Copies of this chain bind each other. A is one copy, B any other.
Amino acid sequence: MKRRLGPLPMIFPMPALLVGTYGEDGAANAMTAAWAAICCQSPPCAGVAIRSSRLTYANLLARRAFTLNVPRADAAAAVDYLGIVSGRDDPGKLARAGFEAARGAVVEAPILPGCPVNVECRLLERLDLGTHSWFVGEIVEVHVDEDCLDAGGKVDLGALDPLVFATSRRAYHRLGEALGPAIDLGKSLRRRTDGGPS
């Protein structure tokens, strides 16, 4: 049986990311954001939803740059802290959460080397939707911890152990077991008439 819940923001699961920006004074800041996604393969783009009241909102517009940093599951408390406290109230929030900041290689936004994946974005588009604006950035560089890369240079999610977020109950999760490769698992369902190798 289904229950109708009405209009609610629900997609499961979402990542739990840290959005890095520089303030007007050049100080590195980061806030937690779970509503984010890849938006395009080529040029590679990523989007993130930010409230206009956030310091990150102003920072991002001023330098037209941001980073998305993928934290490990064991950083859940630190990540949560960066979502609770604004850089306006605690300019030392990054250090308090145990993160250092480094300059991005391409854009004017800080990366957090303590996160195993750091994605540098140059602002392309902004959609003002209501409480949140959706910012789309072109991904111009990606930094990944060597120990999270397999022999083929692909990101090994087992080694990465990324934090995951579930809206509704607002809970952090760990990523679970691998179930198999995409563009492969489903081949067993192909029609016989499709025939032959594909």
Contacts and interface: CB of A to CB of B under 8 A. Distances in A.
Interface in A122-155: 124-125, 127, 129-132, 134, 136, 138-146, 149-150, 153-155
Given A11-B119, A168-B154, A186 B144 contact: no
A177 B177 contact: no
A177 to B, nearest CB: 5
B80 A185 contact: yes
A172 B182 contact: yes
Chain copies in the assembly? 2
A44 B8 contact: yes
Contacts of A188: 77
Contacts of A174: 176-177, 179
Given A4-B142, A5-B142, A141-B6, A164 B13 contact: yes
21 contacts: A2-B146, A3-B143, A3-B144, A9-B44, A10-B117, A10-B142, A11-B17, A11-B38, A12-B155, A40-B130, A43-B130, A76-B180, A80-B184, A81-B190, A83-B186, A90-B194, A97-B186, A124-B129, A157-B171, A165-B182, A172-B181
